[in-house]
Amino acid sequence: MVVLNKPGVLGRVAGHIRHEGWNIKRLTVDESENDPDAAGTSFMEIDVEGTHTKLAQVMDRILNLDCVVSIAMIQNGEKVIRRRAQERIIDEAPQEKIAKVPLKKENTFRILAINPGSTSTKFGLFDDDICVLSKTIRHDSSQLNSFGSVLKQKEFRRDCIMQSIKENEVDTASIDAIAGRGGLLKPIESGVYAINKKMLEDLNSATAAIHASALGAIIASEIAASLGVNAYVVDPIVVDEMDRNAKLTGMPGIERSSVFHALNQKAIARRLALQIGKPYENSRFIVAHLGGGITVGAHHYGRVIDVNDALAGEGPFTPERTGAVPLIPVINMCFSGEYTQSEMIEKITKNGGMKAYLGTSELIEVQKMINDGDEFAALVLDSMAYQVSKEIGAMAAVLEGLADAIILTGGLAYSSRFTGAIKKRVDKLAPVYVFPGEDEMLALASGVLRVLQKKEKAVSY
């Protein structure tokens, strides 16, 4: 396909494919050359493995994305090219045209999903599980820092969302529910939680408010109150279903915590379960979320009974975290007088891993180094894959060697070199499935949709 060079285009296109539970076998992106649509575009080629009877429907939805120019579908040697009308392509000139959101269809639920990040605020509008509007509002770091704390950014981010909704001519009366990203709450079971007073109190605490994810539920609650609808969070990062054997550390007073990419891990596990025709609650999966942080979870009949806490320094090293390291040298560094407590924490959580070795946490830059013959860059990437494989092996032991599948997901899963290095070490343990990227917005909307359709009950926090 020919796509516009817009932020997030890769994730948006891949998200429609992943939503069907299809496996992306290969994905490449190249700059356009000698093409009438070449200005500001790239070629994207995707090899998928899925239900061919639904291919045309999925391509119709992708063709409706404002970042896609044309699609050529090839199956059994036959090629069909489809091109969207030129007037529907968003102008890349300084003033962007606004894509009108379609009217909500009858018997459809419209859900607003909100996902604040450290320097951006994402939101998506879903009619059932189809995204009709997706926006990433990027914020200048200096502007955010001027607020002094994450919680003081609330009004600014909320107003950014509401302004964008107004600009896109969304009828707010059509919104049936709001989903917000869950923050550092107290440990809870997996599920869809109605946002209540107690949750908001905990999210406003000093512990929870250290990360922008706390704003997801807070902003969702305020917007929901103004619209007279309910607000929810889905599988926040503190989902704790760990086996009691997984809690002890060997040091009384310190217990292992369950802090991981619960939202994406659970959503992808459910998607694969649907694809292979086996209920998630009857399955044993090992799910590796491969992103800036890497978490590997053992999914045992619908519960994550063990998972590494990447934020606290467990598991493999990652693009920006150290992972598990020998403790005595770290203790010596702490008492050397060269580092403050906050500097040591940043060294472990933000400036470690691939970034510490190579000066970048961006996979695409590391792959360029490797292509240019940098042998050390290759060693770092391969070592990270090696450590992920070890963690998957550990989770295979947690599942007593009986895993139905191993799932690789997250941004790093776009790298065939990286996933290939993992596969060759673990594919004898169980079949390996790759779902590149993550779609937390869809996961949020899908969770709330299950509640609205009465397929699942909302839990009280």
Closest CA to 150 of 201, 195, 216, 224: 216
Structure-token pair, residue 257: 């915590």
* CA-based nearest residue to 305, from 248, 243, 259, 257: 243
- Whether 457 has a pLDDT exceeding 90, the answer reads yes
Instruction: Please indicate, yes or no, whether residues 68 and 115 belong to a single structural domain of this protein.
Output: no
- Higher-pLDDT residue of 60 and 418 is 418
Asked whether residue 279 falls in the same domain as residue 417, the answer is yes
Q: Which of 47-61, 90-104, 193-207, 383-397 has the lowest mean pLDDT?
A: 90-104
b/e burial code for range 180-213 (CB count within 10 A of at least 16 → b) = bbbbbbeebebbbbbbeeebeebbeeeebbebbb
Q: In the predicted model, is pLDDT for residue 95 greater than 50?
A: no
The predicted structure's pLDDT at residue 91: 35
Question: Between vectors from CA 78 to CA 77 and to CA 82, what angle results, nearest 5°?
Answer: 140
Q: Are strands 405-410 and 432-436 parallel, antiparallel or unpaired?
A: parallel
pLDDT of the residue at 64: 74
Both 373 and 338 in a single domain? yes
CA 346 to centroid of chain Cα atoms: 22
- Quick one: 180 and 280 in the same domain? no
Task: Mark whether 22 and 75 lie in a shared domain.
Answer: yes
Element (H, E) at 79: strand 78-83
Judge whether 384 lies within some domain: yes
Does residue 269 lie in a domain region?
Answer: yes
Predicted confidence at residue 84, as pLDDT, reads 64
Which range of residues forms the domain containing residue 67?
2-88
CATH of the domain at 29: 3.30.70.260
Interval 117-164: pLDDT, tens: 877 899 999 999 899 999 989 888 788 888 888 889 999 999 999 999
Residue 117 is part of a domain; what is its CATH number?
Answer: 3.30.420.40
Asked if 236 and 291 sit in the same domain, the reply is: no
Q: Are residues 330 and 223 in the same domain?
A: no
C-alpha–C-alpha distance, residues 197 and 171, integer Å:
28
Per-residue pLDDT, averaged over 387-398, amounts to 98
Rounded distance between C-alpha atoms, residue 161 and residue 220, angstroms: 10
Amino acid, res. 94: P
| Residues 276 and 370 grouped into a single domain | yes
Give the C-alpha distances (Å, rounded to integers) separating 121 from 55, 112, 137, 173, 191: 32, 13, 5, 22, 23
- Residue 194 carries which side chain, given as an amino acid letter? A
pTM (2 decimals)?
0.72
pLDDT, tens only, 348-357: 988 999 999 9
User: Do 62 and 183 reside in the same domain of the chain?
Assistant: no
pLDDT band at residue 19 using 50, 70 and 90 as cut-offs: low
Helices in 228-285 by DSSP H: which ranges?
262-276
Q: What are phi and psi of 100, to 5 degrees?
A: -75, 135
Task: Give residues with Cβ within 8 angstroms of 152, minimum separation 6.
Answer: none
Structural domain contains residue 9: yes
**Which of the four pLDDT bands, split at 50, 70 and 90, describes residue 20?**
low
Arithmetic mean of pLDDT over the chain: 87
Q: CA-to-CA distance for 333 and 354, rounded, in angstroms?
A: 20
Question: Does any domain span residue 315?
Answer: yes
Percent of the chain scoring above 90 in pLDDT:
60
Residue 100 lies in a domain: no
pLDDT tens digits, 174-183? 999 999 988 8
Residue 405 in any domain: the answer is: yes
Q: What is the pLDDT of residues 236-262, one digit of tens each?
A: 888 999 999 999 999 999 999 998 899
371 within 8 A of 251, measured Cβ to Cβ: no
pLDDT value at residue 93: 35
What is the Cα–Cα distance from 353 to 318, expressed in whole angstroms?
5
**pLDDT given at position 56:** 67
Whether residue 220 lies inside any domain: the answer is yes
Q: Lay out the sheet containing 303-307: strands in order across.
A: 303-307, 294-300, 284-290, 405-410, 432-436
What is the rounded radius of gyration, in angstroms, for the C-alpha atoms of the chain? 22
Residue 307 and residue 301: Cα distance in Å, rounded?
A: 15
C-beta separation of 238 from 216 below 8 A: no
Total number of domains in the chain: 3
94 has pLDDT over 50: no
For residue 89, give the nearest of 3, 217, 205, 201 by alpha carbon.
3
Same domain flag for 281 and 237: no
Reported confidence tier of residue 379, pLDDT bands at 50, 70, 90:
very high
- 286 assigned to some structural domain: yes
Are 124 and 135 in contact by the 8 Å Cβ rule? The answer is yes
Q: Are residues 11 and 150 both part of a single domain?
A: no
Among 117, 333, 287, which Cα is nearest to 213's? 117
> What confidence score (pLDDT) does residue 311 get?
83
Same domain for 282 and 228? no
| Predicted pLDDT of residue 23 | 77
